[in-house]
Structure 1
């Protein structure tokens, strides 16, 4: 009994270290990403801040599109393998990310050359990201490699390199008294370059040593739908920036992005951290659930139990967030001269964050079950209703636009839960498995 208790205690300590490293890793990388927006809001004039927000929107669009092609697939697929198969997947994924970075670099230069450098939608600051898109893609892929391999402490280490290097670059810019949108963007890219370099030197995975064709051939059942989903999701995010800047103004876009960064981005970062921890585990359970016998039934029950328990926990966390964060952010914004007119945005954005939290366990389970096509359907509904709500709400100002975005998030949650319960019917051992154990497990869950 003593030995069994000791093993359980050791397992709990190991699990706590794993979760703690994963959450801390997301805090660090989120800080690196949020620093551009937060410091831009403080250091730059409102017109300059709006231009920074537009450039960042395009940069994030490209990075998250690459994550769909490579990073999300590593989380859902590489976590099922060990040995040479896994090493080959990682190398092929890194080379695919390298190719994504090269294509993005060419596109950014083209946009900078042909896009008008004036007007409401101004992308001239995008040129500052051009030299850094390759290391940004590689670093993001490296993080997903570590998370898929259940080594979040390694992901944390390269993210600390990113954040630390970026912080030094920003500090230097502030000390010389020359704060610009381009400087903030370049500091972000320099940090990514440092983090990606440490990964390559440590792991010995040369970015050009893989085969993108082999990657696409092996992962197309996931990467195709994940990419389509990411395109819809990121077009939705990018369209928000363009619609707000076009229908309202760059100043309104700056107000919206600042409140979202303060209030919604921490939630999105927590969501990303939890997804990185849950998807590999859900994927292993879903794979095991396909086996006949007691092992498959137990894994299917574990997947259901994990989703149910986390849904309850995140629902409570979401309610607490609205109750506490909404009045606090609203009060703080009213005390600032620069963003006081954005205070009414605090409530709809707080509610949107609560919905994102509640959706986490369902999204993780769907990714683990490899229901990529269903995720695509959910994002199409979410994006369509969000942009429609935004467009209609913008007729009543920025406040109306924020409530319009909330309608899309609500619809997305409803669709996600509906698809999840449908997907559960497909989880478990094949039909030829004994029927009685399946009924017993269903009663227990």
Structure 2
């Protein structure tokens, strides 16, 4: 459990380092272009994870020997194809996108050479976690983070840090981690069959995968709407404050979901009263945690931003984004309960409602009050999502009944009854 959580922390740190260092080292205009390129890169990576990584985690853990080895081979081959297709698309976007304007996609050319190793590394983590070897997943994660850190330090010392350099450092880290995995496990990704993978796993590519896609489309749309309706400077301000405030909370939420969903699944199997009682307790605890977070993080982040001068104009964003963090925390008990009840379709409905309301709020808020209004519009979407989530939880709870045969009492509480979980959102 500890290695798995630490692995997640390491990968999250490697990803967030791009945005954080870009905000510190680059002028705002160039940082805005970097943030847009990263949004597109994360979108492609999360699509590959929904198709390969999450499915591998849910399915490969049930097999041993040759059946499992075949699944991993086919999954790696699918990730290889995803990376190659993404590389071609990124080069085309770089070549065809306008040279002027607020939506600047030219930084994608720096990501294009590394999309194959980025997706292979993500699939490799799925392989290790499915095999219950989080220590090895942590190992290749540390290789990624270490390589990336060395490259960044070299750029800073030689005064050559730029958007392209930060993206290259990220890609080099993924390449090193993927190479260690392929050599150590003696994997050749081209030996598998993407067609066989899609045929065999299509039953797992349903609601959870669609939910992940909706979430990532929503994240990508935010970047394009802010850059298009406002400016790259505004996108830089928004993404920097989100990286400081919201992304650590999202990482915490993902870790908490990994702990709470197995327990919620067991409670749901035993009947509604246990699940209802635990969810009520968790809602109270997370309401207190969210309140404390707003009261501490908001003034601290606002004070620091004001005194950085570079991001002083982004200081008013600290309050709505801190409130958004609290709302996301309050959603955790309801999300865990719905996953524990295996109500994937309801989760999809909730994500669609969240995407529609948040993007509408973002657009309207940006039109009336610029970036400050856009941030409050996103908070409106998050609040509507919380209300929808609570209503869907209450609806789903009505259909939970005690089973005819009770769950064995000797079953460990941390054994998940359903390994399929949708990806966390970052918006």
TM exceeding 0.5? yes
- 1:106 Cα deviation (Å)? 1.1
Contact in 2 for aligned 1:148/1:276 (Cα 8 Å): no
In 2, are the aligned partners of 1:47 and 1:251 still within 8 Å (CA)? Answer: yes
In structure 1, the partner of 2:318 is: 346
State the alpha-carbon separation in 2 of the partners of residues 376 and 270 from structure 1: 22
Change over 3 Å in CA distance of 1:85–1:427 after alignment to 2: farther
Match of 1:394 in 2: 366
The aligned counterpart of 2:6 is: 24
1:224 is matched with which residue? Answer: 206
- 1:145 corresponds in structure 2 to 127
* Residue pair 1:70, 1:223 contacting (<8 A) in 2 also: no
What residue in structure 2 maps to residue 122 of structure 1? 104
Distance of aligned partners of 1:363 and 1:89 in 2 relative to their CA distance in 1, 3 Å threshold? farther
Distance in 2 (CA, whole Å) between partners of 1:331 and 1:115 is: 38
Q: For this pair of structures, how many residues does the alignment match?
A: 406
Shift in Å, 1:423:
3.6
| 1:87-118: CA deviation from partner (whole Å, max 9, x where unpaired) | 44333322222221111111111111111122
Counterpart-to-counterpart distance in 2, 1:301 and 1:213:
45
Q: Aligned ranges for residues 287-366 of structure 1 at < 5 Å?
A: 297=270, 310-366=282-338
Measured after TM superposition, the shift of residue 136 of structure 1 is: 0.9
Find 1:64's aligned residue among 34, 46, 65.
46
1:288-310 deviations in Å (ceiling 9; x for gaps): x7xxxxxx638x88776765554
Partner of 2:143: 161
Give a deviation string over 1:262-286, Cα, whole Å, max 9, x none.
Answer: 111111122233344555x369759
- 1:221-274 deviation per Cα after TM superposition (whole angstroms, max 9, x unaligned): 331333322222112111111111111111111000000001111111222333
CA distance in 2 between counterparts of 1:80 and 1:263 reads: 38
- Contact 1:80/1:284 (CA < 8 Å) preserved in 2? no
Query: Do residues 408 (structure 1) and 390 (structure 2) align?
Result: no
Alignment match, 1:264: 246
Alpha-carbon contact 2:264-2:275 (below 8 Å) kept? no
1:94 aligns with 2:66: no
The alpha-carbon distance between structure 1 residues 26 and 314, as it changes in their structure 2 partners (threshold 3 A), is farther
Counterparts of 2:277 and 2:130 in 1: how far apart (Å)? Answer: 22
Give the direction of change, closer, same or farther, for the CA distance of 1:364–1:194 in structure 2 (3 Å limit).
farther
Of 411, 419, 424 in structure 1, the residue corresponding to residue 392 of structure 2 is 419
State whether residues 59 and 129 of structure 1, in contact with CA within 8 Å, keep that contact through their aligned partners in structure 2: yes
Distance in 1 (alpha carbons) for counterparts of 2:129 and 2:395 = 28
* Residue among 237, 249, 255 paired with 2:231: 249
DSSP-derived class of the 1:123 partner = coil
Tell me the residue number matched to 2:192: 210
Distance 2:201 2:402 in 1: 24
Is the alpha carbon distance of 1:366 and 1:257 closer, same or farther for their aligned partners in structure 2, counting shifts above 3 Å?
same
Q: Would you say 1:174 and 2:170 are equivalent positions?
A: no
* Shift in CA distance, 29/319, structure 1 to aligned 2, threshold 3 Å: same
Name the CA distance, whole Å, in 2 between partners of 1:212 and 1:406.
Answer: 40
**Matches of 2:15 and 2:100, distance apart in 1:** 26
Point out the more displaced range, 22-31 or 404-413. 22-31
Map 1:125-136; keep pairs closer than 5 Å. Answer: 125-136=107-118
Give 3-state SS (helix, strand or coil) of 2:135's partner: helix
Q: Secondary structure at the match of 1:333?
A: helix
Deviations 1:199-229 (A, max 9, x none): 2223334323333233323332331333322
2:24 maps to what in 1?
42
Q: For 1:25 and 1:397, how far apart are their aligned partners in 2?
A: 38
What SS does the corresponding residue of 1:179 show, helix, strand or coil? coil
Instruction: Name which of structure 1's ranges 203-212 and 230-239 shifts more when overlaid on structure 2.
Output: 203-212
CA–CA distance in 2 between the matches of 1:361 and 1:90? 33
1:380 match: 352
> Would the aligned equivalents of 2:3 and 2:135 in 1 still touch at CA under 8 Å?
yes
Could you say what secondary structure the match of 1:178 adopts? coil
